[in-house]
Structure 1
Amino acid sequence: MDQPAYVQHYSPVLGSLAWSSLVAALPLLVLFVLLGGLRVRAWLASLIALAVSLVIAIVVYGMPAGMAVLSGTEGAAFGFFPILWIVINALWIYRMTVRSGHFDVLRRSFGSVSSDQRVQAVIIAFSFGALLEALAGFGAPVAICTIMLIGLGFRPLRAAVVALVANTAPVAFGAIAVPITTLAQVTNLPEDALGAVVGRQTPILALFVPFVLVALVDGARGLREAWPVALTGGLTFGIAQFAVSNYLSVPLTDIVAALVSAGAVVLVVRARAGATTTRDRVAVPAGGPDVESSGTGSSDDGAHGGPPSEGAFGAGAAGDRDDAHQDSRRDVLLAYMPYVIIIVLFSVQQIPPITKAMNAVTLKFRWPGVDVRSPSGTQASSTTFTFNWLAAAGTVLLIAGVLTALVLAIRPGDALRAYGETLRELRTAIATVMAVLALAYVMNLSGQTITIGQWLAATGGFFAVLSPVLGWLGTAVTGSDTSSNSLFGALQVAAAQKSGLDPVLLASANSSGGVLGKMISPQNLAIAAAAVGMAGREGEILRRVLLWSLVFLAGMCVLVYLQSTPVLGWMLP
């Protein structure tokens, strides 16, 4: 005999929305305190918060125990596929390029564009970091870009700060737009609509980030001298991000934007290269002792350089910092091939007949044992699981990985070992993401999320200001815009519907605000500190990036609020 459907109700505690919200928020409070206050490991904190949410769903909301547990299993399954399926295969490709030595070739290729660290910060941390975010996300851009910057002569603390601040504007479309995909899943809003609105928010952020990077490297002087590079990188990235997310393909957004931005910066640098033939280095910036002085060494002391030469952006000097190693054109071409393969495969996937053929084998089914209905009797959409095993971005990346192994002449045994190493490296991340998604599904399907959303909706139109803050808080604590969207996406929609605001706008604002919390999340700070050999000194890095996180957040709050009014309402699709 089938178990009767569970009907959600939103005021189970004394019939009060306020008291019910306080109880419903306990899993999130537990998660935040464990992660941010007690510094419990993310996977363990997520499991504890999941247990709390299950108890509340069963005891307070009256959800059948079996159905509550099965709701969690659906969330965990969605956490692995398609989310982790993308991350695993993307990092496998990266690991193969490291094993084959082609990653070092790629790093030297970037360094050969210019010896000016201000230019390198924009090309590597911003543009190439965006490409890494587009393909993998989940901390990979911070770790990889930090290592590349140190290899090009950046001092460790500065490399970490630059990589963290740069890892903002691309995050909402990271890992082949997994945050947007997840947001669409938990909110039941169209993925294209969400991507289009986010694509009208984060490009504005992208315009300013390169200027901040230049200032971090060389203070006010850097802004005076290197503003053309900053403007070119940010403007072209923002325009491409808007155009692709709105008119081409949400998953391809950051890939195209990153390549357009990098290409435009290289053209500007090459155009100005004739102005100088001397090597330019960056001296102590105008920011004083709180900003590191810069030199060619990677240690904490002993800067070597003088001021940049008059015609900044000189080309071709940094590539010889690796013992003057000269790579052949063939090696350089092979170093870029994995990314070319990925772009080609995703582009081919957008061709309508191929898209139709790949989607033809997609399986959709209601998750076993989970029958949840709203008070009006409508079936909860998130009880339907979509297994698009062939069309999934992770599967495309798996195919790209196989082709990469063939092109780079990596032996099958080495490729398989690299895959095993990737799984071992990600084991705690896998547990964390699956637990967070399980928590989100339990809260959403039991009604806890809607309870909180309806309570917050009492703020009316002002909730548009709070909307990005929720996303920022979620990412700051979990380290992932995807996880933040899982936790708060449905809440944003519930609050929007209750307060008369646009659900798509507020759900998108959760993701756009979330990108600004990534630079201060404990996980990303730990990744950056480990990459530069500063484990245990995460607080020092946090102090360098916190202000920028708050400044950008304030700007995003103002933007979203104005977009919710006639002042900037015209910006929305």
Structure 2
Amino acid sequence: MAFFLSILPIILLIYLMVKRNAWPSYVALPWIAVCVLIIHLAFFGTNIAIVSANVTASIIAVQTPITVIFGAILFNRFSEVSGVTNTLRKWLGNINPNPVAQLMIIGWAFAFMIEGASGFGTPAAIAAPILVGLGFNPIKVAVFALIMNSVPVSFGAVGTPTWFGFGPLNLNDEQILEIGSMTALIHCFAAFVIPLLGLRIMVGWQEIRKNILFIYLSVFACVVPYFLIAQFNYEFPALVGGAIGLLISVLAANRNIGLARVENNLDNNAVSFKEISKALLPTGMLIAILIITRIQQLPFKAWMNDATTWFAVRIGSLGDFEISRGLIFSLKNIFDTSVSASYKLLYVPAFIPFIVTVLIAIPLFKVSFRNATDIFGDSLKRSKNPFIALIGALIMVNLMLVGGEGSMVKTIGKTFAETTGEHWTLFSSYLGAVGAFFSGSNTVSNLTFGSVQLSTAELTGLSTTLILALQSVGGAMGNMVCINNIVAVSSVLGTNNQEGNIIKQTVLPMIIYGIIAALVALFVIPLFYNI
């Protein structure tokens, strides 16, 4: 009964979002959150103070994803109003008229690099509007962007899912490095198949076959350096691999290497070098700020994460409100429980780099005050429904985590593990995908299920580093179906009430990804690692 009631909300959520006349996420998610709350109070008998504290913590925690979504929408609205997007469309569209080249450069290599720098669903939010501007169908672009944004995710946001996601397990540096190395190898094998499945959404198999040389050139240009860097570092594989892959992909497309010739309707004089440089300036600033603020050897990351208390006050029974020197806003001991929540104003990739970049770029591009206020107003308006959806999602997630070893999440994980036993290698990645589905984050999935995966590996005698690598891969492939990313890309593209339709199209590639991960874990990993 505990397992049934634990998994019921997830099954109900999936049903509501994929059935005929599907509910939009901003309606379905709040109702599922209410369902989880009722189950806690009626069946698990959870203290109402604990429930209230977690609901309050969710409202605070939602500021992180929603401000990132707002920042991405703001950046894209600025790009549209200032003419940046139009210039980039002309330039990227004029690199090569072949649609496969455009899809691989923007949807694969460019998104790969952005994921390595930022994460938080920003690659799809940035790359997708450019593809739509080139004339591709918005719904298909959303599905394509989600499928393609999977291989680099385990090392997204400068490796956060790997080094931070497994932080609570108290692993040594060598173990984390081996997890990263195995994770990269599994992703590299998936990269033989997943980009083809993504492209199939956009073009036919015949067109894919004609351009297969360029496709794999672009794929290998990203994943080869990605894999090599993962052997000694778990922070920069995706960022550096994506940057190298983008450069090689653009150069190859310029020379029509591996691409079928199509009718050349390009205007080679459409965009001057000066215009391209200016149009790339905001994106360049965005990436540069992200890199500078996330390299541990520089002082900025430590400053932005400085948790030393600067100001503190007790707000009655609500809890202890604190502001740190790094402008981390925290509410601790909510309703006299151990529940706390915080928001890192400077470190969350919202104010820095999105809002800061836009504020700097507005005068550089001579955007009028009226247009600037319209940009901010429209971005706030478009953030409304995602905000409602994400509040529902985070309340659901937080409540499902309540109860320690007896929590709904742990009950699901333990039941899966007990059912499969020593065959857990075949299913491990799917547990990671479940975590990403309802949390919207590979990092949160690793935090949530890492301990279950570790204990399962120890009980069954399986390699702990391999099972944790599969967990990380699962969290990445779960990005294809996770609510947060679907809401984010749908909001940026302005596609309404299509979340269920998108999930229907991304779930099969995710299942195939898990099969590839299991096969690599069983037959390839043992050839290279002592497990």
TM range (shorter): 0.7 to 0.9
Q: CA deviation at 1:555?
A: 0.7
The match for 2:27 is 44
Change (3 A) 1:132 1:325: farther
How far apart in 2 are the matches of 1:421 and 1:395?
17
How far apart in 1 are the matches of 2:269 and 2:510?
38
Residue 245 of structure 2 aligns with an amino acid whose one-letter code is: S
RMSD: 4.3
The match for 1:331 is 275
Q: CA deviation at 1:365?
A: 6.6
The answer to whether residue 12 in structure 2 is matched with residue 27 in structure 1 is no
Q: CA deviation at 1:70?
A: 0.6
Percent identity of paired positions between Structure 1 and Structure 2: 18
Q: CA deviation at 1:332?
A: 0.9
The match for 1:393 is 349
Tell me the TM-score normalized by structure 1: 0.71
Q: CA deviation at 1:166?
A: 3.0
Would the aligned equivalents of 2:30 and 2:391 in 1 still touch at CA under 8 Å?
A: no
Q: CA deviation at 1:174?
A: 5.5
Which residue, out of 252, 260, 265, partners 1:268?
252
Provide the secondary structure at the position in 2 that maps to 1:85: helix
Which residue, out of 493, 509, 524, partners 2:451?
493
Summarize the alignment of residues 277-296 of structure 1 with structure 2, pairs less than 5 Å apart.
280-281=261-262
The answer to whether residue 393 in structure 2 is matched with residue 436 in structure 1 is yes
The answer to whether residue 423 in structure 2 is matched with residue 462 in structure 1 is yes
Q: CA deviation at 1:90?
A: 2.5
How far apart in 2 are the matches of 1:78 and 1:537?
22
Residue 103 of structure 2 aligns with an amino acid whose one-letter code is: A
Q: CA deviation at 1:181?
A: 8.9
How far apart in 1 are the matches of 2:383 and 2:159?
20
How far apart in 2 are the matches of 1:536 and 1:448?
28
Q: CA deviation at 1:490?
A: 2.1
How far apart in 2 are the matches of 1:413 and 1:153?
29
How far apart in 1 are the matches of 2:234 and 2:507?
33
How far apart in 1 are the matches of 2:477 and 2:198?
15
Q: Deviations over 1:204-246 (max 9, x none)?
A: 32344445566774535743x5333222211121134445667
Residue 94 of structure 1 aligns with an amino acid whose one-letter code is: N
Tell me the TM-score normalized by structure 2: 0.76
Provide the secondary structure at the position in 2 that maps to 1:25: helix
Would the aligned equivalents of 1:146 and 1:159 in 2 still touch at CA under 8 Å?
A: yes
Q: CA deviation at 1:92?
A: 1.3
The answer to whether residue 205 in structure 2 is matched with residue 205 in structure 1 is no
Summarize the alignment of residues 413-432 of structure 1 with structure 2, pairs less than 5 Å apart.
413-432=370-389
Q: For structure 1, which segment, 53-62 or 100-109, has the greater mean C-alpha deviation from structure 2 after superposition?
A: 53-62
How far apart in 2 are the matches of 1:45 and 1:399?
34
Change (3 A) 1:485 1:115: same
Summarize the alignment of residues 534-549 of structure 1 with structure 2, pairs less than 5 Å apart.
548-549=509-510
- Structure of larger gyration radius: 1
The match for 2:92 is 110
Q: CA deviation at 1:535?
A: 8.6
Would the aligned equivalents of 1:210 and 1:231 in 2 still touch at CA under 8 Å?
A: no
What is the total number of aligned residue pairs between the two structures?
495
Provide the secondary structure at the position in 1 that maps to 2:352: helix
Residue 57 of structure 1 aligns with an amino acid whose one-letter code is: H
Change (3 A) 1:428 1:139: farther
How far apart in 1 are the matches of 2:488 and 2:43?
37
Q: CA deviation at 1:519?
A: 4.9
Change (3 A) 1:213 1:174: same
How far apart in 1 are the matches of 2:141 and 2:6?
41
Q: Which runs of 5+ in 2 are unaligned?
A: 307-324
Which residue, out of 67, 85, 103, partners 1:85?
67
Q: Deviations over 1:434-482 (max 9, x none)?
A: 322222222212222223323222122322321222344566x65x742
How far apart in 2 are the matches of 1:190 and 1:402?
42
Residue 455 of structure 2 aligns with an amino acid whose one-letter code is: Q
How far apart in 1 are the matches of 2:360 and 2:30?
37
How far apart in 1 are the matches of 2:45 and 2:360?
51
The answer to whether residue 298 in structure 2 is matched with residue 352 in structure 1 is yes
How far apart in 1 are the matches of 2:504 and 2:12?
25
Would the aligned equivalents of 1:106 and 1:332 in 2 still touch at CA under 8 Å?
A: yes
Q: CA deviation at 1:559?
A: 3.0
Q: Deviations over 1:89-141 (max 9, x none)?
A: 13311210111111111111112211222322211222234356567777776
